[in-house]
Amino acid sequence: MKCVTPLGLYGVLFLAFVYAPILLVVVFSFNANPINMMIWDGFTLDWYRLIFGMEAKAAESASYIDSTAQLYAAVRTSFVVAFATTAISTLFGTALALAVSRFRFRLAGFYRGILLVPMIMPDIVLGIALLIFFVTIGANLSIGTIIVGQCTFLISYVFVTVSARLALLDETLEEASADLGATPLQTFRRITLPAIAPGVLGGALLAFIISMDDLVITYFVAGTGDTTLPIHIWGMLRRGIKPEINAIATLMLLFTLVVAAAGLYFRQKKE
């Protein structure tokens, strides 16, 4: 008993608190019991089969009818949105970070503050504001408005990660490059970009994951046509919690882990 310190106990409880629900979802996704998930009824891959539209012997009551095609469409929309917003927000976020750190202009500090606001703004408020804005200018709610809407706050995330990296960059390196004959563009490509690359990559991954995962703001600006994965899942849940959901959640978890691991790996390789 002497090795159980209060702090150690706290640590264990904390881990349980955070990870137990997630672990349960993963376990449930392999539980054959279609009615009560809390009762283990044997191992099955049926729920995964259902997602991929394969034959499964599961009872009809355990699945969302019609889900497969719509699920795929939602996944596709999510990917299109995530890639587009990642590209746009990485480009603009990086450019803004460079501008704010490199050029001395009045109100640079104010500008920096303004750029952080979308990150702390309540999602609901941003969602409503965007909806009203799009309606006012007469834009059709579609995949286009989702992309524009998400970029408004994703740019901030990229801005912050790139800015943090830029703060570490020694400006005399850029002067040394110019001194050796490099034009500003050459200096940017050969010195600045490699130095901030981990920040840019990190910002892009963050934007990608947040975009894939965003529900509230997307929900407001999505309209009725295009549906992203989180919105689709939200819709499914309103028809009751069925075991299939666990399998979808587990796959999303796996995907996020892979993306994050890739990010860490590339980052380590850079060092």
Partner 1 sequence: MPRLLEIHKASKAFHSPEGGTITALDEVSLSLSSAEFLTLLGPSGCGKTTLLRAISGFEPLDRGQITIDGQEMTDRPAHRRPVNTVFQRYALFPHLTVGRNVSYALEIAGTPKAEIRTRVGEMLDLVGLAGLGQRGISQLSGGQQQRVALARALVARPKLLLLDEPLSALDKNLRRQMQLELKRLQEELQIGFVFVTHDQEEALTMSDRIAVLAQGQIQQLGTPEDLYRHPANRFTAEFLGESNLLPVALHDGAAILADGQRVPASGRGTSTLMIRPEMLGTAPVADGLTFAGTIRERFYSGTSNLLIVETQAFGMLQALLRADAPIAVPGSPVTLYAGRADLHIIPGGAT
Instruction: Tell me the three state secondary structure of residue 42.
Output: coil
CB of 184 to partner 1, least distance (A): 8
Selection from 271, 246, 258, 269 nearest residue 212 by Cα: 258
Q: For residues 36 and 172, which CB has a smaller minimum distance to partner 1 in the complex?
A: 172
Nearer to partner 1, 43 or 103 (CB): 103
At its nearest, how many Å lie between partner 1 and the CB of residue 180? Answer: 4
Those residues whose C-beta lies under 8 Å from the C-beta of residue 57, and which sit 6 or more positions away, are: 46
Cβ–Cβ < 8 Å for 64, 239: yes
Selected binder of partner 1 within 71, 100, 126, 191 (CB under 8 A): 191
Q: Is 108 in the site for partner 1 (CB under 8 A)?
A: no
Residue closer to partner 1 by CB (options 96, 191) is 191
Q: Which uninterrupted H or E stretch holds 130?
A: helix 123-136
Q: How far is the CB of 270 from partner 1 (least distance, A)?
A: 8
Question: For partner 1, which is the closer residue by CB, 192 or 228?
Answer: 192
Dihedral sign computed on CA atoms, order 100, 102, 108, 109: positive
Closer to partner 1 at the Cβ: 63 or 192? 192
Minimal distance in Å, beta carbon 191 to partner 1? Answer: 6
What distances in angstroms separate CA 229 from CA 51, 145, 174, 198, one per listed residue?
A: 13, 16, 44, 28
Q: CB burial class (10 A; 0-12, 13-18, 19+) of residue 243?
A: buried
Residue indicated by tokens 């952080």: 116
* Interface with partner 1 (CB under 8 A), residue from 195, 210, 251, 252: 195
Task: Please report how close the Cβ of residue 167 comes to partner 1 at its closest, in angstroms.
Answer: 16
Tell me whether residue 61 or residue 186 sits nearer to partner 1 (CB atom): 186
Considering the complex, what minimum distance in angstroms separates the CB of residue 261 from partner 1?
23
Q: How far is the CB of 172 from partner 1 (least distance, A)?
A: 4
Number of residues that bind partner 1 (CB under 8 A): 19
Q: Which of residues 161-190 bind partner 1 (CB under 8 A)?
A: 170, 172-173, 175-184, 186-187, 190
Binding mask 124-163 for partner 1 (x = CB under 8 A): ----------------------------------------
CB atoms under 10 Å from CB of 163, counted, come to 22
H-type alpha helices, the chain: 6-28, 46-51, 67-102, 108-120, 123-136, 143-168, 171-179, 184-187, 193-213, 216-221, 229-237, 243-270
Distances (CA, A) of 268 to 37, 132, 198, 261, 264: 41, 43, 9, 11, 6
Nearer of residues 224 and 268 to partner 1, judged by Cβ: 268
Residues near partner 1 (CB under 8 A): 170, 172-173, 175-184, 186-187, 190-191, 194-195
